Amino acid sequence: MRHDTGGRLTRDGIRIHDTADFAGMHKAGAVAARILDEVAPHVYPGQTTAGLEAFIRGAVEESGATSATIGYKGYQHASCISVNHVVCHGIPGNKIPKWKNDTHARSDDSLIDGDILNIDVTVIVDGWFGDTSRMYVAGEPKPYAQRLMQVTHDALMIGIEAVKPGNTFGDIGHAIQSYVEGNRMSVVRDFCGHGLGRVFHAPPNVLHYGRAGSGPRLEEGMFFTIEPMVNLGRPETKVLKDEWTAITRDKSLSAQFEHSVGVTADGVEIFTLSPAGTFHPTWES
Ligand code: MF3
Ligand code: CO
Ligand code: CO
């Protein structure tokens, strides 16, 4: 029998989950992470974002999970694929926006050597949401792209290290922002992480910048994502006419990594760890 803490909400409207709920999130997170593992060998120059989406859609179906993004606010795909200066919410199958450093022409949605891309997948398993994203490279990354991906990955993990009862959400944002800006890169302000659980997007907004000690206090049983977007140039973004694709205003390169996590009695559980251990920018397929 489930024993529920009665769906307690904090004064900030953040849900406190119980032990059985951690198991549900662990299962959902593992499915999403495994799909991101499995798509890796399909990323190469000449592959299309539509091709990657088709693979992911099939993998979600095969796993018995449900895609959380198909039908979400009118979105029609099982993944978001954000190439180069696309910050987030890139639509697979759409034309890849032309980037200032593109060395040769691309046809529509096909990848060229040196492209970096974020693939973001959210699945629902037994009612629980698993939301994760990571970076991939088509061919060989440029050194500056490799460095951006490394700093973004490390910023996420440094943010996760700040997750423990008693710390605040501001501590997470502050840790991420200081690390990123210390590396002379910028943190996107226009998109944030979010509470999740039996819903996709719940309170609080998890900012990837901020003051230490600010914001709600972390409590055991809170579930949320941390998903910093980091730009080589300025932090400002704009959304294209398709009403989803967000790009950097200055056309600088952008990267993102995302984990779904839960606050435990003495720290954090990462629900979306890679079963293959490939959640890392230096991993090569
Ligand atoms: N997975 C994204 C997030 O991290 C949300 C994508 S919503 C979609 O919150 F509709 F664009 F897919
Ligand atoms: Co998310
Ligand atoms: Co996501």
Residue-by-residue DSSP string for the chain:
--------B-TT-PBPP-HHHHHHHHHHHHHHHHHHHHHGGG-STT-BHHHHHHHHHHHHHHHT-EESSTTGGG---S-EEEETTEEE-PPTTSPPPPPTT--S---TTB--TT-EEEEEEEEEETTEEEEEEEEEESSPPPHHHHHHHHHHHHHHHHHHHT-SBTBBHHHHHHHHHHHHHHTT-EE-SS--EEE-SSSSSEEEEE-SS--TT-SPBP-TT-EEEE--EEESS-S-EEE-TTSS-EEETT---EEE-BEEEEE-SSSEEETT--TTS--STT---
Whose structure tokens read 């060989």? 140
1 CA to centre of ligand 3 in angstroms: 31
Which position has the higher pLDDT, 285 or 61? 61
Q: What is the pLDDT of residue 285?
A: 47
Which residues have CB less than 5 Å away from ligand 2 (the ion)? 131, 225
Q: What is the pLDDT of residue 165?
A: 98
Q: Is 72 in the pocket of ligand 1 (CB under 6 A)?
A: yes
191 CA to centre of ligand 2 in angstroms: 10
Number of the ligand 1 atom closest to the C-alpha atom of 201: 9
**What is the rounded CA–CA span in Å between residue 125 and residue 129?**
7
Q: Is 53 in the pocket of ligand 1 (CB under 6 A)?
A: no
| Mean pLDDT of the region 219-236 | 98
Condensed to tens digits (0 to 9), the pLDDT of residues 1-45 reads: 344 455 799 999 999 999 999 999 999 999 999 999 999 999 999
Condensed to tens digits (0 to 9), the pLDDT of residues 112-151 reads: 999 999 999 999 999 999 999 999 999 999 999 999 999 9
Number of the ligand 1 atom closest to the C-alpha atom of 122: 1
Q: What is the pLDDT of residue 141?
A: 95
Are 77 and 94 within 8 A, CB to CB?
Answer: no
Rounded to 10 deg, the angle between the 19-39 and 49-63 helix axes is: 140
Binning pLDDT at 50, 70 and 90, where does residue 283 land?
Answer: low
Q: What is the share, in percent, of the chain residues with pLDDT greater than 90?
A: 92
Question: Considering every ligand atom, which ligand is closest to the CA of 224?
Answer: 2
Confidence check: pLDDT of 282 > 80: no
Confidence check: pLDDT of 281 > 90: no
Q: Is 122 in the pocket of ligand 1 (CB under 6 A)?
A: yes
Q: What is the pLDDT of residue 6?
A: 52
Q: What is the share, in percent, of the chain residues with pLDDT greater than 70?
A: 96
**What is the rounded CA–CA span in Å between residue 261 and residue 25?**
9
1 CA to centre of ligand 2 in angstroms: 30
Q: Is 89 in the pocket of ligand 1 (CB under 6 A)?
A: yes
Residue nearest ligand 1's atom 3 by CA: 131
**Mean pLDDT of the chain, nearest integer:** 95
Q: Which residues of 178-209 are buried (b: 16+ CB within 10 A; e: fewer)?
A: ebbeebebbbbeebbbbbbbbebbbbbebbbb
Condensed to tens digits (0 to 9), the pLDDT of residues 45-72 reads: 999 999 999 999 999 999 999 999 999 9
Number of the ligand 1 atom closest to the C-alpha atom of 227: 4
Condensed to tens digits (0 to 9), the pLDDT of residues 234-271 reads: 999 999 999 999 999 999 999 999 999 999 999 999 99
